[in-house]
Amino acid sequence: MKDITINGMNIVLENKDTVGLPDLLKKGKEYLFKRVIDSTKTTYTLKLNCINATQLAYNYNYTIESKETFKRSGIVNLEPGFILALGSDFDDIEGTDFGIFEYFGKDSVFKYDIGIGVSAHKTRAFMFIHRVDTNLSRIKIQDCPMLIKEN
């Protein structure tokens, strides 16, 4: 590929193909995604801050009966494959699939996958956490359900 340019929130390939960068989250603004599961008294919270068009800062935690059980923060990067196709996820609230932009990051113990998209006219997010040493098998913590944007 010889000619790649950026035009606003678009990547232009060879002066003819255009791919839009994610614009669901505005640069410098903090977003709160949350979900409470009454049956288990579990609250999931994900705060995202858009650093730029391809990076997000995150703070994730979940609590059971008001006691913090798991907490992580860091930076995740937009998955480059979004140029070819969006990812997808299932919205367990609406019962439908929807397109997502996926962001990935890791530390010495875990790999993080954050997905953001719109389902039923509402911005949704999810977070998967995998152990680094187990080739992406899920760790044995609470699986994070679909989270709903609060602000």
In a domain, 15, yes or no: no
Domain assignment present for residue 100? The answer is: yes
DSSP 119-133: ETTEEEEEEEEEEGG
Is 0.85 topped by the overall pTM? Answer: no
Q: Which two tokens stand for residue 40?
A: 């288990």
**Do the domain assignments include residue 66?**
yes
pLDDT in tens, 73-114: 999 999 877 776 677 878 888 888 888 889 999 888 888 889
In a domain, 84, yes or no: yes
Residues forming beta bridges with residue 126, ordered by sequence position: 115
Q: What pLDDT is recorded for position 34?
A: 93
Q: Categorize the per-residue pLDDT at 148 as very low, low, confident or very high, splitting at 50, 70 and 90.
A: confident
Q: For position 103, what pLDDT does the model report?
A: 92
Number of domains in the chain: 1
Over residues 22-78, the pLDDT tens digits come to 788 898 999 999 999 888 888 999 999 999 888 999 999 988 898 888 899 999 999
Give the separation between CA 146 and CA 91, rounded to whole angstroms: 6
Tokens representing residue 74 in the block: 């860091």
For residue 52, the enclosing domain spans 22-149
